Amino acid sequence: MKKIGIIICHRYHTCAGGKCFRSMRNREGAFSIYGKEEIELVGFTSCGGCPGGNIEYAPAEMKKNGAEIIHLATGLVVGYPPCPRLNAFCSFIPEKYGLKVVIGTHPIPENYFLTHEKLGTWKSDNWQEKIKHVLPKREIRLAYD
């Protein structure tokens, strides 16, 4: 069993987690990497707002609860602008806590996909690597609109 924590962007701090939990249950988006392996959510919180102060502390609590992997929620890449500290979070969490980091939770909704396509946000190879687990076919993107 894999134990995971989810950290969401604070601008969505009132989010109830519905899309993340649905995608975890259905093994869609970034949760598809687990296949049929059992996973357990051991923590869910926001980054604490820019510049991400909760990133310094939340992974420690999640690790105490058994977390092995931290998912940085899809909101960190679909909001506009995408989180400018994403790379720093991806470096800090493994270095400080020894936890693996996965970018994304639920699939990117179609409305966000279309906006970012027009803006050219994710055209670089670097961004394509970041969103690879959450960029499904249009049919699934529409289901998460």
- Global pTM reads 0.95
Which is it for the CA torsion 16, 61, 11, 71, positive or negative?
A: negative
Tell me, what's the pLDDT at 94? Answer: 98
Tell me, what's the pLDDT at 38? Answer: 96
Domains of the chain, earliest start first: 2-143 (3.40.50)
Tell me, what's the pLDDT at 18? Answer: 94
Tell me, what's the pLDDT at 89? Answer: 98
